[in-house]
Structures are given as structure tokens and as C-alpha cells.
Amino acid sequence: MKLPGWQGLNFGKSEAALKLPVRTGVDISDNLHPTRAHGFDLMLVWVVVCLLCLSAVMVYSASIALPDSPKFARYSPTYFFVRQCVGIGVGLLAALVITQIPMKLWEQATPWLLGITLLLLVVVLVVGKGVNGAHRWLPLGVMNFQPSELAKFAIALYGASYMVRKLEMREDFWKSVTPMLAVLGVLGVLLLAQPDMGAFVVIAAIAIGVLFLGGVNLRMFGLVIAVLVTAFVVMIATSEFRRKRILAFLDPWDPENAAGKAYQLTHSLIAFGRGEWFGQGLGGSVEKLHYLPEAHTDFLLAVIGEELGFLGVCLVIVAFFWLTRRCFLIGRQAIALDRVFAGLYAQGIGIWVGGQAFINIGVNLGALPTKGLTLPLLSYGGSAVVMNLFALAVVLRVDLENRALMRGGRA
């Protein structure tokens, strides 16, 4: 596989400033073997492992009292903890396998993966498991699989592949813009039918971010932004439920809002207030005792804030900031080495992890309207954790290939 030169990108620093030995036209398809001692990003692995350990502890703490509620009476106190650990275990095993797959194979498999994703999004509407009026999950016995999580991974791959393949079409505006708009449109229709507007927001952010980082034509970028903004405005304007949620977020302490659409938000804010600087201690949350709905999923950060305090919340934010930044740096290294697909993919995953964490944290703190988005790597959800680890394992593969190439491409 010959790596072509990439002339249309400007990432703010020159290749010389990055101190990377840029080599164009190098064949690395046959001599990159991550199982050999090329080294890997140990800090990235440890940050992810620490977040997973915190996830297991906090999911157990947040869900241990749920069986006291009639809704969860048939579950044991360790039900959600065990399933979360199973998801983490499956994700880690998958990650070990995925780091062995070369990036060239992911690039070749992108159209197939996108097709499978679209098919699963259709299937979930027909036979999916319904929870609180939403059909987003396919029951697989030991865990429920959420196709929208696979869609986030697929759009990062497709966006990176799209920017590489469409380089020669930059002068033909409509020929360039139509495929991406079509894919986003189909994904949007299928996700909103579930409904899952939160996932569509993240997917749109990944697509837009990859386009921007790939140096897309400004007219094309502006058109995509305009279409998406118009779509979101229409979705909010035509849905009384979404409109009421937005209004409730603006004034959560209004008596009508506090007992209705802003109920979760007000109790989340109470949890943060009780946590103060150092928290009430592990297991000491009161809000998780059937006051705060979805305490182990969407609002896990509120439980962390109540039990571990301001310090615990700051450590979580710092971990996600570092993880996002690391994904971007790995991507920038790949692009400087003329590995554009791998680089844009890694940065797309950075947008996914960082963007979704930003939205979830903003929702928990009352800075953003309430959305059904989990906190990556932390919140309860088997398929979400598995896909997070899946995506980050491919980023680790990008880093492994970067290091091998910078060592001269020798195994």
C-alpha cells in the first residue's frame, strides 16, 4: 500500500515543528507488527483503565439501591454491576484483537461497515427492545446492543475515508457534498425514528469535525453546517416534547418545571450541591435513592459529584480532556506521516469521546438541555462501553503504526 502525499492540509504547525521524519511513498503494509516491541502509548491505556475501574465502582454504588423500587424489584443489588463488568471484559478482549488489525483493512472495510450499520438501524426499529418509548436496543441475552453506538464508529471511519477519496473532486462542489449529506440524512432519519436525537447530535459533530480537520472546501462545510442547523431547529420546533425540554432547562427551578421536564436536572444539581468539595464519601449519595432517575446511566456524574465532590468531578473532566487531546495528537502525527485516513479517524474518535463527554457533563451541571447521552467509558451500558473500547483500540493501532513508521518501518 503506497501512501500518497497530502497537500491540502494545514494543522497549525509545520511537519518540522512536530519533529517527525516525514516519509512519503513508504510501503508499511507488510512490516508493521504491533505484537513486536515497537512500544505503545502506555499512558493512554492507563487513563482508559482508570476510567473503567471508576465506572465499575460508581455504577455499583449508583445502582445498588435500585431493587428497592418496584420497577427493579426482580433485579439483585449486583445486577447492573455484573453486566457492566461483563461489558468491560468483552470490550477489553475485543480491544486486544482489534489492535492487531492494520488500518488499511479498516479503510477497505468502511463501506461494508457503514452498510451493516444502516441495516441494524432499520432492524432495531422493527424488532428492537423498547424502553421508555424509545426503540434503540437489540437484545443479545447477556447485554443489549445499541446500533447508534456502532454508527458513531462507522461515521468516523466513513468521514476519514470520504476526505481521502474525494480529494480529487474538490473542484466539483455538488459531486463532493452530496454523498456526505446523503449519509447524514439517512442516519438522521433512522436515529430520529427511534427516537435518539442525542446520538444524531454526536454523529453530526463527528462528521463536521472530520470535514473541517480534513481541509474541506469552505462552501461545502458551510452548506453542511446550514443543513444540520436547519434540521435541528425544525426538529425542536415541530416537537412539543423537545420544545418543553429546552424551556424547562432555561428555568429548572420553576415549580412546574421542577416537577416535570426539569425533574432530573434539579435533583442532579442538588446532588452536586451536597457533594461540596470532597463529597459525602463513597456510597453516601442520597439522590441515588430513587430521587434522581437514571443515576447509573445518564446522570452518573451527579452521583460522582455527590460522593466524591468537586475534586472527583475535576479528575473526571481532566481525564477526558487528556484522552481527547491525546487522540488529536496521535491523529496529527499520522497526518504528518502522510497517513491521512488513520489521522482523521483518530481525531474523529477524539471528537466523539470529548464531544459526548462535554455534552453529558454540561447536561448534568445544567449548562445544556437534558439529552439521553451517557458519559463515555463510565456510564452503565454494555454496548456503549464495548464500542468506546473498540474505537479507542483502533486509535491505539494508529499510534502503533505511527511508532513503527518513525522507527524506519522495520519489525
pLDDT tens string 315-352: 999 999 999 999 999 999 999 998 999 999 999 999 99
Range scoring the smallest mean pLDDT among 18-22, 38-42, 404-408 = 18-22
Residue 116 has pLDDT above 80, yes or no: yes
User: What's the one-letter identity of residue 343?
Assistant: G
Residue appearing with cell numbers 463527528: 206
Percent of the chain with pLDDT over 90: 47
Model confidence at 174, pLDDT cuts 50, 70, 90, reads low
3-class secondary structure for 140-154? Answer: CCCCEECHHHHHHHH
Residue 25 pLDDT > 80, yes or no?
no
480532556: which residue's cell? 321
CA dihedral over 148, 150, 154, 157, signed as positive or negative: positive
pLDDT at 75: 86
Residue range 390-407: average pLDDT? 92
137 forms beta bridges with 129
Q: Is the pLDDT of residue 376 over 90?
A: yes
pLDDT > 70: percent of the chain: 85
The pLDDT value recorded for residue 22 is 41
Domain limits, the chain: 15-111+147-406
Confidence at 132, pLDDT banded by 50, 70, 90: low
**pTM for this model (two decimals):** 0.85
Which pLDDT band, with edges at 50, 70 and 90, does 197 fall under? confident
Q: Is 218's pLDDT higher than 80?
A: no
Q: How are strands ordered across the β-sheet holding 144-145?
A: 129-131, 134-139, 144-145
For 65, the grid coordinates are 439501591
Phi, psi (deg, nearest 5) at residue 131: -135, 120
- How many other CB atoms sit within 10 Å of the CB of residue 367? 11
pLDDT-derived band at 389 (thresholds 50, 70, 90) equals very high
**Mean local confidence (pLDDT), 198-207:** 88
Q: How far apart are CA 371 and CA 308, in angstroms?
A: 24
329/347 Cα distance (integer angstroms): 8
pLDDT of 10 over the 60 cut = no
Residue 354, pLDDT score: 94
Residue 231 has pLDDT above 80, yes or no: no
pLDDT score of 388: 95
Model confidence band, residue 250 (pLDDT cutoffs 50, 70, 90): confident
Other Cβ atoms closer than 10 A to 48: 22
* Mode of pairing for the β-strands spanning 129-131 and 134-139: antiparallel
Name residues whose C-beta falls within 8 Å of residue 16's C-beta, 6 or more positions apart in sequence.
none
pLDDT > 50? residue 92: yes
Long-range contacts of the stretch 309-316 (C-beta < 8 A, 24+): 309/275, 309/276, 309/277, 309/278, 309/279, 309/280, 310/275, 310/276, 310/277, 310/278, 311/277, 311/278, 311/279, 312/275, 312/279, 313/272, 313/275, 316/51, 316/54, 316/361, 316/375, 316/378
Q: Please choose, from the candidates 377, 249, 226, 336, the residue with its C-alpha nearest in 3D space to the C-alpha of residue 6.
A: 336
Please give the Cα distance from 411 to 347 (Å, whole number).
26
pLDDT tops 50 at residue 257: yes
